[in-house]
Amino acid sequence: MTGALKGKSILVTAAAAGIGKAVALESAQEGAMVTAVDIDMAGLEKIASDNITTMKLDVTDQTGITRLVNTSEPFDGIVNVAGYVHHGSILNCDPDSWKKSFTLNVDSMFYILRVAIPKMIQNGGGSIVNISSVVSSIKGFPDRLAYGSSKAAILGLTKSVACDFINQGIRCNAVCPATVDTPSWRQRCEELGKTMGSYQQAREYFEMRQPMKRIGTAEEVSGVVNFLLSDRGAFITGQFYNVDGGTMI
């Protein structure tokens, strides 16, 4: 590792597994002091270290978020990873599922950034990275109405924050992965495997959808995230990075 984040304080949500876990671990390896939050304390305990402080946090809890930000030193970087995938078209997406998708995928970012950005500005600025998706936010996919709509909203939020604070030292970018090997994706393979015949058949189905014929890794996403967090990405803001194995070609 290069020490690209040495001396920086980074907040990572949904850090107990998947992309959030990979970002937290790599940020710490790059020298950052990481605050890793999730509702899964058992998962967080597995990554706790001298450079990673873990804390239980529901990212839809505005009071808890405000308490965390107010009792922490200003963050130099924030990575909003927490999210929820709803499957279905507008014909089988009920209002509760629609609301849950936006609450977890979009509102959580709004809650965090509105209280964290003022402290970041007072501290000289910082870098925000929001995890979106190539699904519908960049390209239409079937049966992803609520998920795709909420992920598209993240791109609007990202550009708005980037524009509003560009002269105050705040950078805000989004990373848009395609299918990535995470515990939640493996669970989807288990469920799909029940109708396709096996877990392996379901996995191969996802792999064959990718132009590279393989699934991405959480570490491949975290590499881009940490570049944007670091000073190497200092001239980049308001941009969307597809980490998609060629899906958008």
Length of the chain: 249
Torsion of CA 137, 141, 145, 149, to 10 degrees: 0
Does residue 168 fall inside a structural domain?
yes
**Does the annotation mark 147 as catalytic?**
yes
Q: Does 202 fall in a domain?
A: no
Q: Give the number of domains in the chain.
A: 1
Residue-wise pLDDT for 103-118, tens only, equals 999 999 999 999 999 9
pLDDT value, residue 202:
87
**Domain assignment present for 51:** yes
Angle between helices 62-71 and 108-122 (to 10 degrees): 20
Instruction: Indicate which CATH number applies to the domain containing 131.
Output: 3.40.50.720
Q: 67 lies in a domain? A: yes
pLDDT digits (tens, 9 = 90+) for 16-55: 999 999 999 999 999 999 999 999 999 999 999 999 999 9
- pLDDT-based confidence at residue 184 (cuts at 50, 70, 90): confident
Residue 237 one-letter amino acid? T
In a domain, 183, yes or no: no
End-to-end, the C-alpha distance of the chain in Å comes to 31
The tokens for 211 are 């132009």
Average of per-residue pLDDT values in the chain: 96
Average pLDDT over residues 9-15: 99
Closest residue by Cα to residue 129 from 238, 2, 1, 52: 238
Prediction pTM value: 0.95
Q: Does residue 83 lie within any of the structural domains?
A: yes
Q: Is residue 68 predicted with pLDDT exceeding 90?
A: yes
When pLDDT is averaged across residues 134-154 and rounded to a whole number, the result is 90
Q: Which residues form the domain of 36?
A: 9-178+217-243
Q: Among residues 111, 147, 205, 241, which one is catalytic?
A: 147
Domain membership flag for residue 30: yes
Q: Is the pLDDT of residue 137 over 80?
A: no
Q: Is the pLDDT of residue 191 over 90?
A: no
Cα 99 versus chain centre, distance: 19
User: Contact at 8 Å (CB) between 7 and 18?
Assistant: no
